[in-house]
């Protein structure tokens, strides 16, 4: 019986020991869990990612047009902020970030007014400059022990934490180069904001701008989470995306901006578009619109300007198409410049349709049909070509449903009547003088370049080359579209000479500049809307300006909806063209060949102009000086009056001295 009791007691003791062991083990594991969960013991290794950035867009003269910067967030963990020093911390953080203190205090509470626990983001989208200051603040906060560990490990705590959250696009020159520059949009990827091109150059070259590789630093981690820089550290340097270097000069571009802004107001136009292209290699050295916008602050009334009209606005070009029709006929050998056509004193009936000319002539040579912009004459030239050869000729010039190849995103195409529709003589005739056919600004600029470049034209190019940051190596993107060669050099020269005649004695005479070779063609076309032609117009002038030093430029100007008083291209597009040529002269891109006497006269006029400007400036300075003197005299008199009213006034010996200002 006694042995039974002893065995039973032994079993009970053993059971109690097992229970105690299990409870002790659970307690020990729980303590370990709480310790690790509370103090966030870091892993043995740590990797810090160094995010690469999208490449920049840079003008030919070295100005940054578009670039990416890192954005950061600043956060804290409530468990590690000393409650007694919270107000001190918020005051300093407010000063460093310019965020109101009251706004920061609200972040510590939920919408229901309950205190938040855990991580709190105090600021987002901080730029690099602010982060530099905050890193300095972080060091100071650690010195003042604003943050401390509530756990066992006194060496580990989370202080002010600065985390890269993504990148943002900057446009230091605001509206410059818009809308061809385009804009970007944000793309969230693993809680990190990336940038993608959405329009213009930003979209066209997106894969190159975003061709980047992130860097990193990886190594052993100490007790407070910092990487130990020993032999085991691994690192890789980041590679940012390609930078784009443009053919466009900022100085010339800004000059054209001013010209277009001025003429938009003067002509009461909806928009003016202009471009200058180097003829031999189709490099765009300036391309702009009067309707620009800041890509970071797009206003509701600017939405329609987001699509660059140079490439996205097919329109009926009007008479600027006549030299192309003329060139096709010359190339086919159907006519010569001296071939004469009857022009019926300005009226020709085709079925129930009447074709009219602004100037009535009984007959005109093919050359004078272009000079005097005869609809009747060019219709007959087109009919002689034949509809199939005519359409094929237009396609060879890059017109119709084909892109110019310009390196700007979302390029649209034009359209030409089908051969079936060209059976009708009226459709055939109107196409010959630029109605019924649609073309973009870029298509026409490329086509006209053939006349100034021996019958040959490359696709227009805005970007010159690509380069990696910190590298001098240049990369050139393969052109996506073929060059055009619709006519021979001989035909191109004939058309070129004809376009020079247009400027000498035709509708483009206002573009003439002494000492330069200038040619071009005007186009005034009614706008077709709501099923009929409106009394609103597109006025354009496409041509060239060359000097004897082999500087050759193809230039296009399109004025959209000028007021009726200036609706003819000779009154609107041609003066803008001339101003652009003068800008090329001022920028030393063209040098007129003047005789010694004429050169002296020009220099004297320039001197007189500068002297007049200086005189106006001197007069304004004098007026401002006099105004300031009177204001000071008035103040002095008021102060003297107050002083005299004082019972202890003693006259100052300098009170009546003259003002020497």
DSSP E strands in 31-142: the ranges are 45-50, 57-58, 64-77, 119-126
> Which two three-digit tokens encode residue 347?
């009226």
Interval 296-345: pLDDT, tens: 888 888 888 899 999 999 999 999 999 999 999 999 999 999 999 999 99
Interval 168-210: pLDDT, tens: 999 999 999 998 999 898 888 888 888 899 889 999 999 999 9
Average pLDDT over residues 555-578: 96
Average pLDDT over residues 7-28: 72
Task: Please tell me the predicted confidence (pLDDT) of residue 45.
Answer: 62
Interval 347-368: pLDDT, tens: 999 988 999 999 999 999 999 9
DSSP-assigned letter for residue 84: G
Q: Is the pLDDT of residue 579 over 80?
A: yes
Count of CB atoms situated within 10 Å of the CB of 211: 17
Q: Same domain for 404 and 271? A: yes
DSSP-assigned letter for residue 398: T
Nearest to 141 by CA among 83, 81, 72, 73: 81
Q: Same domain for 277 and 178? A: no
Count of CB atoms situated within 10 Å of the CB of 431: 24
Asked if residue 600 is part of any domain, the answer here is no
* pLDDT mean across residues, the chain: 87
549 Cβ neighbours under 8 A, 6+ residues apart: 591
Asked if residue 649 is part of any domain, the answer here is yes
CA distance 633 to 658: 10
Q: Same domain for 26 and 111? A: no
Task: Please tell me the predicted confidence (pLDDT) of residue 657.
Answer: 38
Q: How many CA atoms lie within 13 A of 19 on its CB side?
A: 6
Contact at 8 Å (CB) between 79 and 150? yes
Provide the residue range defining the domain that includes 643.
606-661
Q: Which residue has the higher pLDDT, 623 or 174?
A: 174
Q: Same domain for 84 and 209? A: yes
Which of 44-48, 102-106, 329-333, 518-522 has the weakest average pLDDT?
A: 44-48
Q: Which residue has the higher pLDDT, 660 or 653?
A: 653
Q: Which residue has the higher pLDDT, 12 or 59?
A: 59
The pTM (predicted TM-score) of the whole model is 0.78
Q: Same domain for 34 and 120? A: no
CA distance 661 to 658: 9
Pairing assessment for the beta strands 283-289 and 271-278 based on DSSP bridges: antiparallel
pLDDT bracket for residue 493 (50, 70, 90): very high
Q: Is the pLDDT of residue 257 over 60?
A: yes
DSSP string, 528-586: EETTEEEEEEEEEEEEEEE-TTS-EEEEEEEEES--GGG-SGGGTHHHHHHHHHHHHHH
Q: Is the pLDDT of residue 9 over 80?
A: no
Q: Same domain for 370 and 408? A: yes
Helix, strand or coil for residue 344? helix
Task: Please tell me the predicted confidence (pLDDT) of residue 193.
Answer: 86
Q: Same domain for 534 and 660? A: no
H or E element in which residue 235 lies: strand 234-236
User: How many domains is the chain built from?
Assistant: 4
Residue 114 belongs to a domain with what CATH number? 3.90.1310.10
């Amino acid at each position: 019986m006694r042995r039974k009791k002893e065995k039973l007691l032994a079993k009970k003791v053993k059971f109690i020991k097992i229970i105690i062991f299990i409870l002790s083990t659970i307690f020990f594991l729980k303590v370990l869990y709480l310790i690790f969960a509370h103090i966030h013991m870091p892993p043995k290794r740590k990797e810090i990612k160094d995010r690469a950035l999208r490449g920049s867009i840079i003008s030919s003269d070295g100005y940054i047009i578009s670039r990416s910067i890192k954005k950061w967030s600043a956060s804290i963990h409530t468990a590690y902020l000393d409650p007694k020093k919270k107000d001190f911390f918020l005051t300093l953080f407010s000063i460093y970030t310019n965020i109101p203190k009251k706004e920061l205090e609200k972040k510590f509470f939920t919408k229901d007014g309950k205190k938040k626990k855990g991580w709190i983001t105090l600021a987002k989208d901080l730029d690099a400059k602010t982060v530099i200051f905050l890193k300095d603040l972080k060091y100071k906060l650690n010195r003042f022990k604003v943050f401390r560990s509530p756990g066992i490990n006194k060496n580990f705590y989370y202080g002010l934490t600065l985390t890269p959250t993504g990148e943002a696009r900057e446009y230091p020159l605001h509206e410059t180069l818009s809308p061809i520059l385009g804009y970007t949009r944000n793309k969230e990827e693993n809680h990190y904001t990336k940038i993608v091109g959405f329009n213009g150059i930003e979209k066209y070259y997106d894969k190159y701008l975003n061709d980047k590789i992130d860097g990193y630093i990886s190594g052993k981690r100490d007790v407070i989470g910092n990487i130990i820089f020993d032999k085991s550290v691994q690192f890789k340097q980041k590679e940012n995306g390609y930078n784009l270097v443009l053919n466009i000069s900022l100085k010339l571009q800004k000059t054209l901006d001013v010209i277009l802004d001025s003429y938009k107001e003067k002509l009461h136009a909806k928009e003016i578009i202009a471009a200058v292209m180097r003829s031999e290699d189709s490099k765009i050295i300036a391309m702009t619109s009067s309707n620009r916008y800041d890509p970071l602050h797009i206003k509701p009334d600017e939405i329609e300007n987001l699509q660059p009209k140079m490439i996205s606005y097919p329109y009926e070009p009007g008479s600027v198409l006549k030299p192309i029709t003329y060139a096709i006929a010359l190339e086919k050998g159907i006519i010569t410049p001296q071939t004469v056509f009857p022009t019926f004193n300005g009226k020709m009936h085709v079925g129930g349709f009447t074709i009219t000319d602004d100037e009535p002539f009984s007959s005109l040579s093919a050359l004078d049909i272009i000079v005097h912009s005869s609809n009747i004459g060019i219709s007959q030239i087109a009919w002689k070509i034949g509809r199939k050869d005519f359409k094929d000729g237009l396609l060879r010039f890059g017109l119709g449903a084909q892109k110019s190849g310009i390196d700007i995103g979302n390029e649209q195409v034009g359209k030409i009547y089908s051969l079936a529709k060209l059976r009708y003589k009226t459709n055939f005739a109107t196409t010959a003088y630029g109605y019924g056919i649609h073309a973009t600004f870029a298509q026409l600029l490329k086509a006209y370049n053939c006349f100034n470049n021996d019958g040959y034209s490359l696709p227009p190019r805005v970007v010159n080359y690509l380069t990696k940051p910190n590298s001098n190596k240049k990369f050139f993107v393969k052109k996506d579209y073929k060059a055009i060669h619709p006519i021979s050099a001989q035909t191109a020269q004939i058309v070129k000479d004809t376009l020079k005649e247009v400027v000498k004695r035709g509708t483009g005479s206002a573009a003439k500049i002494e000492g330069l070779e200038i040619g071009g063609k005007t186009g005034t076309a009614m706008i077709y809307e709501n099923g009929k032609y409106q009394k609103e117009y597109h006025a354009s002038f496409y041509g060239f300006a060359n000097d004897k030093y082999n500087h050759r430029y193809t230039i296009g100007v399109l004025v959209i909806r000028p007021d009726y008083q200036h609706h003819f291209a000779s009154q609107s597009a041609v003066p803008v063209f001339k101003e652009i040529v003068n800008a090329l002269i001022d920028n030393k891109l063209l040098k007129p060949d003047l005789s010694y006497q004429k050169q002296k006269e020009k220099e004297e006029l320039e001197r007189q102009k500068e002297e007049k400007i200086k005189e106006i400036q001197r007069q304004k300075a004098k007026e401002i000086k006099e105004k300031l003197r009177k204001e000071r005299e008035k103040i002095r008199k008021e102060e003297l009056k107050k002083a005299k009213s004082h019972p202890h006034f003693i006259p100052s010996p300098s009170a009546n001295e003259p003002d020497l200002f």
